[in-house]
Amino acid sequence: MALLEATVGASRLLWGADGEVDLGVTRDGGRLHIEIDVIEQRSVYTGSTPCGFFVGGRRVWAEVEVAERSLLDLLDRLTDVAQRAEAEHETNVARDVPPFAGTLWPSDRLCLRPLGAGGAAGRDIVLWKAALRPSLEFAAQEQEARFFRLRFEALVDVDEAGRARLARFGDWEIAPTYMFVGGA
């Protein structure tokens, strides 16, 4: 059950909580999805008529198109591809795709900062712990510039104070209020 599917305006993609990296500007904005799974509560008195709903889970993801600023740069930062360089020739670089299951897929904070926000965080869309879904799709070619569709999915993150967080709209420096119960 989708709660929200919204188009967001052109935004700057900022990746990482420590040492934030600018991944460039989205092409024509993107799509933000919020999905909430609900489970119907029924009673012997109401029969098949629901008398309440329980939240079974939440999913948040953003789909954006980015220019091929450097596909290899995106691979290095957003996947588990290992980069190697020759000792004698540092410009000769190779990327190795690991063949094994069980490698940890990179995740970090993703911030979509609307263009024209003047650097203010008040209109940001933040996925506290986002991971790139493993599908890089070629989108379009305009005058030799290529674009790629990316899908970032939010994972549950727990901050230093033990508060759980998934996504935020608005100023990301305001502390969340939800306390995390259980293990992550």
Strand-pairing partners, residue 68, are none
Q: What is the pLDDT of residue 184?
A: 46
Q: What is the pLDDT of residue 100?
A: 80
Q: What is the pLDDT of residue 139?
A: 56
Task: Tell me the Cα Rg of the chain.
Answer: 20
Distance separating alpha carbons of residues 116 and 27, to the nearest angstrom: 15
Task: Per residue of the chain (184 residues), give pLDDT as tens.
Answer: 557 888 888 888 888 888 888 888 887 778 889 999 988 899 888 888 999 888 888 999 999 888 766 566 777 777 778 888 887 877 788 888 888 887 778 899 999 988 875 666 677 889 999 998 866 666 555 566 677 788 999 999 988 888 888 998 876 666 666 555 555 4
Q: What is the DSSP string of 141-171?
A: EETTEEEEEEEEEEE-EE-TTSBEE-EEES-
Q: Let me know: does 146 contact 134? Beta carbons within 8 Å.
A: no
Q: Could you state, in order of their start, the residue ranges of all structural domains in the chain?
A: 2-169
Q: What is the pLDDT of residue 60?
A: 94
Q: What is the pLDDT of residue 173?
A: 67
Q: What is the pLDDT of residue 118?
A: 64
Assigned token pair, 32? 């933000």
Strands in 68-170 per DSSP E: 82-85, 93-96, 108-114, 125-132, 137-142, 145-155, 157-158, 164-165, 167-169
Cα atoms in the Cβ-side hemisphere of radius 13 Å centred on 120: 6
Tell me the whole-structure pTM to 2 decimals.
0.76
